[in-house]
Structure 1
């Protein structure tokens, strides 16, 4: 009889368990990564979708203000330039365009507020609009690791809003 295999039995079960754990971890990380990517993508583009929707509503009112019409057309043109992928160049371009879009959209809301002038109702500001967007999309807390992680007391301090 060969007793060498009996002596290595514990190591064999350890290796099998280790491989099963690795495979399970890979599967779970893939699913979590997909979910995280979908959520971040939703959060990034919901604001653009709401801007476009509100521009459609404003246009449907048929307000004949040249400044308002010009700014809405500028917003639509800027939105066409936004690429829906995750390349480094596209992300940088998205950030630049988003700043321009937010500023143009603020101008649209201010112009709309001047045109409507209803003193009983509070006007729609960009801050209110953005808060609604964040409420709908939620906020993901992302873990950011840097050189100072050893100095921190707990991981909660490392969570940052994305």
Structure 2
């Protein structure tokens, strides 16, 4: 009977436990990464969807304002060119177009305010529009190692911890 294997029993159980822990960590990290990616993707495109929906609502009013119609058409055309992947080039292109779309949508809201200058109670600002988007999508902040996250601003406005 060989008793040498019994002397290494503790090391064997330690190695098995260590491997199980590593495998479980890999599975959890993958799941958390997927959840984070889905949330960030949703947050990036929810505002665009709301802008497009608001353009539909504005068009349904039939205001027949050429400036308003031109700006709405510009937004629709720009949105068609946005790619929904995560390549570096697509992300840079998205960020550039997103700033332009936000500014163009601001002009639409300002035009609406001018058309409805009689009604002071129903004023919709872009900040209020973004607040609705934040309430729907929530916001998360990515973790940056070796930086004090309390003092730094994230790339997203008013983000909360994940």
C-alpha offsets along residues 42-63 of structure 1, whole Å, 9 cap, x if unaligned? Answer: 1000000000000000000011
Once the 2 structures are TM-superposed, how far is the Cα of residue 141 of structure 1 from its aligned partner? 2.6
Aligned residue pair count = 155
Once the 2 structures are TM-superposed, how far is the Cα of residue 120 of structure 1 from its aligned partner? 3.9
Task: State TM-score, norm by structure 2.
Answer: 0.90
Listed as ranges, the matches of 1:21-100 within 5 Å are 21-100=21-100
Once the 2 structures are TM-superposed, how far is the Cα of residue 142 of structure 1 from its aligned partner? 1.8
Once the 2 structures are TM-superposed, how far is the Cα of residue 159 of structure 1 from its aligned partner? 8.0
> CA RMSD for the aligned pairs?
1.6
Structure 1 segments of 4 or more deviating over 3 A?
156-162
C-alpha offsets along residues 81-113 of structure 1, whole Å, 9 cap, x if unaligned? Answer: 110001110000000000100010000000011
Equivalent position SS for 1:143: coil
Once the 2 structures are TM-superposed, how far is the Cα of residue 7 of structure 1 from its aligned partner? 1.1
Once the 2 structures are TM-superposed, how far is the Cα of residue 2 of structure 1 from its aligned partner? 1.0
Once the 2 structures are TM-superposed, how far is the Cα of residue 118 of structure 1 from its aligned partner? 3.5
The aligned counterpart of 1:8 is 8
Unaligned ranges ≥5, structure 2: 157-162
Listed as ranges, the matches of 1:65-144 within 5 Å are 65-144=65-144
Unaligned ranges ≥5, structure 1: none
Structure (1/2) with the larger helix percentage: 1
Task: State TM-score, norm by structure 1.
Answer: 0.90
Once the 2 structures are TM-superposed, how far is the Cα of residue 131 of structure 1 from its aligned partner? 1.0
Question: Do residues 157 (structure 1) and 157 (structure 2) align?
Answer: no
